[in-house]
A and B are shown apart, each in its own frame.
Chain A
């Protein structure tokens, strides 16, 4: 009596399945092209990261931390990465980093132009805003579903899902950054006979850069958190170690993998924030 009646069963999934199949047959090439594009970027990033000698990476992080924040931060960062190496996670960390980097690059390539467009066109902004709002309220693993449907299991859907999840902040902040460029500055540019492109490249984007950098920081952080989740659909890396440890109730491994992700997150956050800070102009 109290259970939901079977006669109301609606096989929505079936139709979605059909729709995806239709997409794959009719637009298969498009998705193949996307997939191979993502894959080649990812593979080359991964190759480079894995090829780098470990000590060089530690040295690089030391310098980066030093430049972006201070020498103490640089030392702490490289020590914590060293610690991750001692857990036996060096290569996994590099794979995670590769997915993050590849996703962030693509996110920026998509997100910054979209942000510029939303800043320029109120109509486009009206379309984008609810979409971005919705994207931000959805839990991250929901994005795994369309990725899985379109690309199956593996690295490519992981990157795809990560891109979808991580792009909104950079769109929003590019939009914000450009909108808040003082009107007089833009008018000064126009009054000298600049084209829209010149105004964008010489005035608006440089002025918006600090805000965009904040967006890049947020996008990177979201990409990292998503990469961990995306291990569920086959992205190798630190996330997968956590997932396995959970399945086996292996507290030791789980802790090591978990703390490695935390280290990575803190380093990426601080370094990119430090760099963003550098781009601020005194008011």
Chain B
């Protein structure tokens, strides 16, 4: 995986003399004190992170935590007070006017919370805007714009004005406008926050569908932890201008770094975040087919289980034997292979717990987690599904 965006020690301070204030900040003077004494606002304080190409990186935090300030640094709508922003290895902070213009025209596009559409232009003329600025010929840019409007599901609305559209549709226009430029990077500052919950969920799903096809590098801002965990390949949680924790949703859920983050993730619907691989455990006892019935019974007795999974020598899952069948087999002198049954449930490691709950509660045998080659990765028992949710 290549790193697309690398932010190093980025700080942004608002006010007349940010450089001086930066020194104070580095000496550990608090944000509040700086505001009181100097009238400067600390927007972002010494933040570093990386975003991999083709991934969605979500920055989440409460109002005023500095999310917008941070994302606006990434296309230099805010000029950083200090720090580096490496995009494809180049520090964009050092760009001169011309290079910055090119960077904005070609590599990055922004989607705004309140859409930022031009109300004096039709939907089509809005989508065309970035291409127009780049000097693409009219036929070409209208063709591209129509294509992108179709992608976001707005075919037929080209000649309407933005304010004739609902909020959700307006944001689709915003998205189409950003996509029309075919940028590598999409910056989305709370794009769905102004929408109704229902529309919001719909848009989230569409974004994920789009992303599956387009594979853009997306930096997405939200103050909604559920949205963050639903969309983010990785999530950064901000508080008071600093990033408190970065990680995949599962990592953050599993090991919240401090009380603040614990409180945050309490609200999360874990079943939509946790996957089979997060709640499974390595089976302490498996038997190999060639081990025979006796060993299987032994294993079960020792671990106090009433059933055990049977694998071949490559650890590929063959089936399950119960203790009752095994004892019967011993009496009747049957082989282990004869009593293997397959009325248990298997799943992949990336299935969400949400889908496993009904299965786990119905089935009396554990769920087997297997990879593509049917190798047994782990097992999930009912208790571990349910306990993962609290």
Q: Does B133 contact A (CB under 8 A)?
A: yes
Q: Which residues of A contact B117 (CB under 8 A)?
A: 185, 188
Q: Which residues of B contact A195 (CB under 8 A)?
A: 101
Contact indicator B120/A191 (Cβ below 8 Å): no
Contact of B118 among A188, A193, A209, A283 (CB under 8 A): A188
Tally of chain A residues near chain B (CB < 8 A): 21
Contact indicator B130/A192 (Cβ below 8 Å): yes
0/1 interface trace, chain B 76-89, chain A, CB 8 Å (1 if under):
01000000000000
Q: Does B309 contact A (CB under 8 A)?
A: no
0/1 interface trace, chain A 168-202, chain B, CB 8 Å (1 if under):
00000000000000101101111111110010001
Shortest beta-carbon distance from A226 to chain B in Å? 33
Q: Which residues of A contact B106 (CB under 8 A)?
A: 193
Contact of B110 among A188, A198, A203, A207 (CB under 8 A): A188
Q: Does B181 contact A (CB under 8 A)?
A: yes
Count contacts between A and B, CB distance < 8 Å.
Answer: 71
Q: Which residue of B lies closest to A282 (CB)?
A: B163
Contact indicator B116/A207 (Cβ below 8 Å): no
Contact indicator B110/A191 (Cβ below 8 Å): yes
Contact indicator A193/B105 (Cβ below 8 Å): yes
Q: Does A152 contact B (CB under 8 A)?
A: no
Q: Does B75 contact A (CB under 8 A)?
A: yes
Contact indicator B104/A191 (Cβ below 8 Å): yes
Q: Does A206 contact B (CB under 8 A)?
A: yes
0/1 interface trace, chain B 237-257, chain A, CB 8 Å (1 if under):
000000000000000000000
Tally of chain B residues near chain A (CB < 8 A): 31
Known: A281-B119, A282-B161. A198 touches B104 (CB 8 A): no
Contact indicator A283/B116 (Cβ below 8 Å): no
Q: Does B231 contact A (CB under 8 A)?
A: no
Contact indicator A188/B116 (Cβ below 8 Å): yes
Q: Which residues of B contact A190 (CB under 8 A)?
A: 77, 104
Contact indicator B163/A192 (Cβ below 8 Å): no
The A interface is mostly helix, strand or loop, or mixed, namely helix
Known: A185-B116, A187-B77, A187-B116. A283 touches B163 (CB 8 A): yes
Q: Which chain B residues (169-188) contact chain A, with CB distance < 8 Å?
A: 181, 187
Known: A281-B119, A282-B163, A283-B163. A192 touches B112 (CB 8 A): no
B109, B110, B118 interface centre (most CB from chain A within 10 Å): B118
A193, A194, A202, A283 interface centre (most CB from chain B within 10 Å): A193
Contact indicator B116/A193 (Cβ below 8 Å): no
Known: A187-B77, A282-B163, A283-B163. A192 touches B116 (CB 8 A): no
Q: Which residues of A contact B120 (CB under 8 A)?
A: 206-207, 209, 281
A242 vs B101: C-alpha distance when bound (angstroms): 60
A192, A194, A209 interface centre (most CB from chain B within 10 Å): A192
Q: Does B129 contact A (CB under 8 A)?
A: yes
Contact indicator B101/A191 (Cβ below 8 Å): no
Contact indicator B181/A192 (Cβ below 8 Å): yes
A195 vs B100: C-alpha distance when bound (angstroms): 11
Some 16 contacts from A to B, beta carbons below 8 A apart, are: A184-B114, A185-B117, A187-B110, A188-B112, A189-B118, A189-B129, A191-B108, A191-B109, A191-B110, A193-B103, A193-B133, A193-B134, A207-B118, A281-B120, A281-B161, A282-B164
